[in-house]
A and B are shown apart, each in its own frame.
Chain A
């Protein structure tokens, strides 16, 4: 260690940033020491990503300074941040799916005027880094063919390849399953021991508690608290973040009604294998059925089949006794099947449309007369949704893209629940949401259950699944386990189920 290396490696001082009327960052000051792991915590829309984008030079701050090793970075220049040793893993992957891992990693590392590339040298360096940090990837693989976990590794390798000494990770585990996330944090801790400084953002309090040395809490663009991790607890952090005590609602015992959606032996093939392989389940009125499992085991296909986006090749699927195996999404909407899609940006809302337009998009017929949209009625409906589901930071005319993740999700849920659906498909409904928003979403789901809706919950978050669902089934390689009651679910049993260990006898 260099003598006098006690000063912070990174300092943010008085950072402010305004988007129109919205003050996204308000005089934020924080610092990061060498070898430290700092967690940045805050509600959806608190301004965490904005702050990191300023630090990395994607945005220029309206006021304030960023200093790395005591030297100020010029605003708005990612190049300068990289040169100073800052590496960033963005909230949304910044990878090109059509290019190889190698290409995604080396771009920008060599002068554009250079003739020819040192491919072999680059491959060797990537392999060295992979080995050193325990991040295995195949440099020649096409990024589009990789799993999300592997993509995350590529993102980190990108930063390491550029010799980052300060690593910023914006919600690195939002799309990872628990074991992958745990492994990632093991790696990060190892890096910190090796002298790297790490700043990460996460909504998952157990990760923050487990991996960080210090926590900074951001609320409405301002630093509201700073804690040494060892001296705090998840409940306190949640409260600091939201500004009030939050607790996830508890499921009340409640008798289920008749089966609403019944699947028998559903089969869908994809590529060479089976995406769904003889799937049986039954969702009853007033009941939540939880499907748990590591992502990539067929959840996405199950979601697509239940929204009419994919057709099963075998088996039967009924809704109130009617065959819905070949329904279209339009029919799904008509029949009162509500859907909360896995990727809210791609399939949930149209980002460039206003909130009111997204609110009525599925039921345009109800808000049209003679082929014209009844704007007044649609606006009123949007206002009502905003009020009833507590969608914050938005009016009916706000561009939907500007909503934070949590509020966008409340809009989608609200749009589906307002009509009182008989069946609701909720696919990863709280991915990327903060603790307060999760509690709100859970509350809505339980409310719908109490009103008699049949709900199929697909989730990677075991706490969520166990907390909400009446019965649980695990999905492994396209096959479903037999259901077990939530009361009977303990960590060991679920772990075995998700590993595909269940008696073949009770799988039917």
Chain B
């Protein structure tokens, strides 16, 4: 017990929690935007992988780190466009299309990587983002180290949570997006185009997913390998449910998962005699438990996964 407390009391644990949470925050916000508009986007796992690759590659080819992020967003939006075209105007199964996008994007990422990058014994590396101490705030004891000495994209992720919440709840476009996920017929009856809204939502959401992927290769690590997303996309899909489709709760969910993860990593090193796989498993098991506890009360967007076809009753 004291071991656990000791671990919880270290600022470096909390610093790691935010770092681990960052790609999840991007991913879960992206998935949330898609779903609030009524489209499930299971392309997330692949989109994150592809985002990780192109973000890294841009930097590897001499681009700025932020340019890498921007390229990832753009490529993510292209994948989102594809998913949107299949599921919105054509109204195909969102599950099938999403899984297809994941397969396509993951394969494309690895293919392009092998095509364009000379790989020796060790994968080539770039110079990643460096932690940025927020002037003033970073000198606060404990908090300064835990929260205000992060990679720049982490700050972006945190600001985005507020921005997305504000967008959804306080702007006409956000209202239109939510309404599209609840009742696209109502949207059309008010003179808006539900298809166009869904397409944009899926594109923007996919852009954010790709950003989450790019964080992995430009901040958390410094090289790309094809399996690096490691199910984070699927975690995000679960986190959206956990969060009842709310950005604030999504942040909490992402942090909670990251906490389990950071905690088990440290626990592994202190506790002996327990197979480490058990620790690896812990965050997932705990997430499922949390999901079961919370998700029963979740208020699902009513038109989630329901294609909207004009002029049909």
Contacts and interface: CB of A to CB of B under 8 A. Distances in A.
Interface of A: 53, 56, 58-60, 78-79, 81-83, 88, 90, 92, 94-99, 103-104, 106-117, 158, 162, 401
Interface residues of A: mostly helix, strand, loop or mixed? loop
A78 B189 contact: yes
A372 B190 CA distance: 47
A401 B313 contact: yes
A112 B176 CA distance: 8
Interface of B: 170-173, 175-176, 178-179, 182-183, 185-192, 299, 301-302, 310-311, 313
Contacts of A116: 170-171
A7 to B, nearest CB: 25
A257 to B, nearest CB: 43
B189 A90 contact: yes
A455 B301 CA distance: 39
Interface residues of B: mostly helix, strand, loop or mixed? helix
B189 A96 contact: no
A108 B183 CA distance: 14
Interface centre among A96, A109, A114, A158 (most CB of B within 10 A): A96
Given A107-B186, A107-B187, A58 B310 contact: yes
Contacts of B190: 78, 82, 107-109, 158, 162
A98 B299 contact: yes
Interface centre among A59, A98, A162 (most CB of B within 10 A): A98
Contacts of B170: 116-117
B192 A96 contact: no
Given A78-B188, A107-B190, A98 B302 contact: yes
21 contacts: A58-B188, A78-B191, A81-B191, A82-B190, A94-B185, A96-B182, A97-B183, A99-B175, A103-B178, A103-B179, A107-B186, A108-B190, A109-B190, A112-B176, A112-B192, A114-B171, A114-B172, A115-B171, A117-B170, A117-B172, A162-B190
Of all A-B residue pairs in the complex, the 3 with the closest CB atoms, nearest first, are A108-B190, A96-B182, A79-B191
Nearest to A82: B191
A96 B191 contact: no
Nearest to B191: A79
Contacts of A82: 190-191
Contacts of A95: 183, 186
Contacts of A96: 178-179, 182-183, 186, 302
Nearest to A56: B189
A98 B301 contact: yes
Nearest to A113: B173
Contacts of B179: 96, 99, 103-104, 107
